[in-house]
Structure 1
Amino acid sequence: MSEEYHITLIDNLITQVNNSNVYPELLRQLEKDINRAGIEYQIDPKIQIKDLVVALNDLLLYRLQHAFNAYLNLLYAIDVSETDLRSFTSEKVEDIAVYSTYLILKREWEKVSYRNRL
């Protein structure tokens, strides 16, 4: 799957998030899980979803390049599907970061949606 495909998936997820009223809860859940993975990270509660996607992608890209174990711990803490991860075939670190961004936001959205019965 191409990077463009994953950007489309992220855009679809952004639309779902924007059409709900639980975005602040998504931010809290994401920040909690990032910190639980041992990465000190604060998310501005006023951040727009598209800016969040960029910030998360940058965080993941850095971890992939400089702190791979922290990247793996984050995926584990968030409970990202191993099956989804293994289905990705690109070896380009930039593509992996985009795909991981999508998987993380998707999983966090699932958690928040389930709790709020969306």
Structure 2
Amino acid sequence: MRLPTTFDALVDQANQLNLYPKLIQQLNKDFLLANIDMDFHEEVLPTSLKLLLHETVYKLIQNNFSEYLNLLYIIDVSEPKIKRLDGSDMRQLSEEVTFLILQREWQKVWYKNRF
């Protein structure tokens, strides 16, 4: 499996395979496991999903770093990928982390559907 390299490519791939609702369900499941009060509606527009997720990640980094780390652990975002990110700009960092979260969640959904 080749992971999408952009948000738009990820959403296009999820929509083509009719797995976008499963992606939302996976996000909701992992946020619940991380005890983060965030529940995305299955019909949320991709742009709204990206914005809400970005805002949530940004707030977690700023206000509750331990919950942020726990979320990354629960979702199983690659630690080397996180370490490669530049943390000098929190907005940019949270945007990149948001994409890594979506990439990992998409990977889980794709594999569950495939196998």
Other-structure match for 1:4: none
- Mapped to 2, the partners of 1:108 and 1:59 lie a distance apart of 16
The structure with higher relative contact order (CA 8 Å, sep 6+) is: 1
Other-structure match for 1:47: 44
Q: Is the 8 A contact 1:14 1:50 kept in 2?
A: no
Unaligned stretches of 5+ in structure 2?
none
Count residues with an aligned counterpart. 111
- Mapped to 2, the partners of 1:25 and 1:86 lie a distance apart of 28
Other-structure match for 2:26: 29
* Structure 1 position 53, deviation (Å): 0.7
Alignment of 1:58 with 2:55, yes or no, is yes
- Mapped to 1, the partners of 2:10 and 2:21 lie a distance apart of 15
- Mapped to 2, the partners of 1:53 and 1:102 lie a distance apart of 8
Displaced runs of 4 or more, over 4 A: none
Specify the SS of the correspondent of 1:89: coil
Deviates more, 1:8-17 or 1:104-113: 8-17
From 82, 93, 96, the counterpart of 1:96: 93
- Mapped to 1, the partners of 2:77 and 2:50 lie a distance apart of 16
RMSD: 1.5
- Mapped to 2, the partners of 1:22 and 1:14 lie a distance apart of 9
* Structure 1 position 11, deviation (Å): 2.2
Q: Is the 8 A contact 2:11 2:20 kept in 1?
A: no
* Structure 1 position 42, deviation (Å): 1.2
TM normalised by structure 1 equals 0.87
- Mapped to 1, the partners of 2:8 and 2:88 lie a distance apart of 23
- Identical columns (%): 38
